[in-house]
Chains A and B, each alone.
Chain A
Amino acid sequence: MTQNLDRRNFLKMGGAVLAAGTAGCATGVTGSAMAGGDKSASVSSGMMANLPKAKGPRLVVVGGGTSGLTIAKYAKKEYPNFDVVLVEKRDMYSSCFASNMWYAGVINLEFLAEHSFLDAAVNNKYIYFNATVTGLDRTSKMLATSEGDIHYDFLVVAPGVSYDYDKIGVKDAGVQAALRQRYPGGFISPTEHVTIKRKLDEFEGGVFVQTVPSGNYRCLPGPYERACLIASIFKKNKIKGKVLVLDANPEITIKKVGFHAAFDELYKDYIEWKPNQGVLGVDVEKRIIKTEFDEFKFEDAAIYANCRGSTLIEHLGLMGDTQKTNQKEANIDVRFNNIIGDPFVYVTGDARPHPYSKSGNTANTEGHNVAKVLAARAQGKDPVFVPPRTICYSMVNADPAEAISVDAGYDYDAAKDAITGFSKDTKTFENRSTAYGQATLEWARGIYRDMFNA
């Protein structure tokens, strides 16, 4: 089945984020657009990073996720004079996209993690610098890291998202920490995936809660896909369990036809989906989730809090006005991703305020485009805007592997300087099939190759 997503669906998906995010891009940060420069004195590490002298304009890319890896590689390809340094705090890669499939045994951990930052750097002629970013001085173009300061000519910050537990009514730092560790959402770090895998391997029965946050959270179909795959585990292993999907939204946020069909046809006895159940608090000890009108007791859970731009964006002074970006995302130009008023600093990937689907494929295609923007600007040329694209598969069955899919483009309205909706050629493929199941695997492998190989 193929159906075009219309503008109404798009707005539903982006919701308030659309309005807030784009408005945030239209104006600069209150006061100086170079506000980050104020932080210089206090953030310098006091030493220079041990890096070879730059042989060309130095492009520093912060974050070795889909966006950062794509940009580090393709900026160098587009403009070989770039001297590229990728700063990444992890020393071992494991991908967030495709990770749901691991829980149900469709893939193994090597599928996600057998990709080396070292190889990516060697294959694509840049330096992988294993360090944590601690500060930024945009006036002197200096990035501070745990391994010393780095001078940049161009800087890309692609740190992804952070969870916003405040938005699900959990304000106490102790409870937030407990939630983070005991019931991780599983949409940011690999260690969360390992914990969820362990939970599912150990699960013997009862209610497993999967929450779906409101707003433009990372991987719109992710929580629904995971519900399907957990149910698939229960079904296969004859576990007397139920996946309770507590959805903050009134309707499944994307591929709803395909997900409803899977819920009803494959997992009638295993999935209970409840719309309009935004989480308003969690009692970690008693294992109770509170929503507006109800309370739900659970045996185990993956509690996916709302998303916000990575806290790094805020720390580095790159965040938009909070009255305009309600997800604490970056204050960047809609088309070219540079910080408003600063053509040398860019924010890409899921920390962007755009109403794009926050997915691996979006970050990958956006990365290709931003690499061209950087190459153009480094050569004093005008960049050309190309919106990203979101091809995204969801595995709704593990045995056999069956998936549904969406292939979405985006429309840019020059008069409004905003992304206004899905493009006309957007299609969904919601009749689950083994063909798409197979395609899902190659979809992920293709992106890994694009990031790690030459």
Chain B
Amino acid sequence: MDRRGFVKVCAGGAALALANWDQMAVAANFESFPPAKLTNKFGAPLKGAEIPTNEAMVFSYPVAGVPCFLINLGDRPSQSDLALKNEDGDYKWKGGVGPKGQFVAFVAICTHQLSYPQPEVTYLRYAADVSGLAGAPGKIVCCAHASVFEPTEGAKVVSGPATMPLLPISLVYDPVSDELTADGIMGMEYIKRFFKTFKGDLNARYGRGGYRLDVGNKTACIPLSKYSEIVPAC
């Protein structure tokens, strides 16, 4: 992966230092990458008004092989400045963007055992309606081992065996154009492990090494039901 020109932003660390939380010895940081405009499948900028509320959209960022969920929470408010923790340390989830803070994005890789959406099938989905595993609407659920995440609260774990939130993606919303841009990700070490685990599959899907290529200045968002042939409703 080409890291030239990438800047480490220590936003989480700075915020936590101010908070003076002694126990937070280590801060997890967003890593900024060249911004990529979110587009529809034709490459035209995706308008906030076009983003469905009934399912997640899938896009790649910052490189081809990292699947992310873009979720429109609709009328459900997302919390902001939430203290969360992952394997890199503590961080603050800044909340959703958009007119109502309704747009959120996370890396669509289950933090339990790495299940992720594939063209053939996805085991991870945003269940806008009630799901059997979650027992409530609006959760991100993983069919494999019943991990449930809360997208309004930074995809923190609600139940199941996962022990850390889905990795957050930093989004920027432009109120004038009603368009979204991705510009950061947290947890690239985790992503490297994901790549190592699925290297054979990813090479087959993207061509040798293709999964490591930058997405460039735009990335297409595809509804999950179009992205994956099978979306099990567990």
Contacts and interface: CB of A to CB of B under 8 A. Distances in A.
A446 B114 contact: yes
A2 B196 CA distance: 37
Interface in B123-172: 123, 132, 143-146, 159, 161
B230 interface: yes
Interface in B44-63: none
B113 A449 contact: yes
B222 to A, nearest CB: 20
A429 B132 contact: yes
A147 interface: no
B225 interface: no
B115 A446 contact: yes
Interface stretch (A209-217, A332-340, A437-445): A437-445
Interface size range of chain B in the complex: 20 to 34
Contacts, number: 62
A435 B143 contact: yes
A122 to B, nearest CB: 11
Nearest to A451: B113
Given A391-B146, A434-B232, A447-B113, A439 B123 contact: yes
A450 interface: yes
Nearest to B193: A454
Interface in A398-425: 407, 425
A450 B232 CA distance: 22
A365 B161 contact: yes
Interface residues of A, number: 25
A111 B52 CA distance: 36
Given A389-B161, A391-B145, A434-B232, A442 B115 contact: yes
Q: Is the interface of A mostly helix, strand, loop or mixed?
A: helix
A249 interface: no
Contact of B232 (A389, A425, A435, A453): A435
A436 interface: yes
Given A365-B161, A454-B193, A407 B121 contact: no
B112 interface: yes
B188 interface: no
A446 B114 CA distance: 7
B161 A442 contact: no
A387 to B, nearest CB: 13
B196 A442 contact: no
Nearest to A123: B196
Contacts of B144: 439, 442-443, 445-446
Contacts of B115: 442, 445-446
B234 interface: yes
B233 interface: yes
B232 A439 contact: yes
Task: With a 10 A CB-CB cut-off, give which of A429, A438, A447 has the most chain B CB atoms.
Answer: A438
Given A389-B161, A454-B193, A446 B145 contact: yes
B121 A453 contact: no
Which residue, of B112, B121, B146, has the highest number of chain A Cβ atoms within 10 A? B146
21 contacts: A361-B145, A391-B145, A425-B159, A429-B234, A433-B232, A434-B230, A434-B232, A435-B143, A436-B234, A438-B121, A438-B143, A438-B230, A439-B232, A442-B115, A442-B144, A443-B144, A443-B145, A445-B144, A446-B145, A447-B113, A449-B197
Interface of A: 2, 123, 361, 365, 389, 391, 407, 425, 429, 433-439, 442-443, 445-447, 449-450, 453-454
Shortest beta-carbon contacts, A-B, top 6: A446-B113, A435-B232, A439-B143, A442-B144, A438-B232, A453-B197
